[in-house]
Amino acid sequence: MPTKSSSAKSAAEKKSTFNSDDIKKNKEVAALSYIWILCLIPLLLKKNSPYAQFHAKQGLTILIAWVIILVIGIIPILGWMIWFFGMIAIVLISIAGVIKTLNGEAWEIPFVYDWSKKWDV
């Protein structure tokens, strides 16, 4: 079972993988990654920033999950419940993503990060 210090250490190690100048210059643009369709701004405009690309790919994954949840929400009752709880989860993850990005952190969102590594944009 990971201890609190080991999880803090892994977050610090991930932060150190990005250049501090890159983080400082691009954290505001990277924060747009978690605001639905605005994930395309850092994805397309900041191709030379590993920090912005890291967050943009996670934002794109969240956007696709959002669209899937909207489609599932068409289904009566069960779809509505999935839509309701899915939207709450996406909004909370997006808020946390913006905050962590503006703090210069590189948060690997569970499940989202694994899918975001597959994007070759």
pTM of the model: 0.78
Whole-number mean pLDDT of the chain? 84
Per-residue pLDDT tens digits for 64-86: 999 999 999 999 999 999 999 99
Residue 15 has pLDDT above 80, yes or no: no
Rounded CA-CA distance 78/28 in Å is 38
Maximum distance among all Cα pairs of the chain, rounded to whole angstroms: 49
Q: State the average pLDDT over residues 86-101.
A: 94
Burial of 78 (0-12, 13-18, 19+ CB in 10 A): exposed
Every domain of the chain and the residues it spans: 18-116
pLDDT of 26 reads: 85
pLDDT of 120 reads: 76
pLDDT of 14 reads: 54
> Sign of dihedral through CA atoms 72, 73, 75, 78?
positive
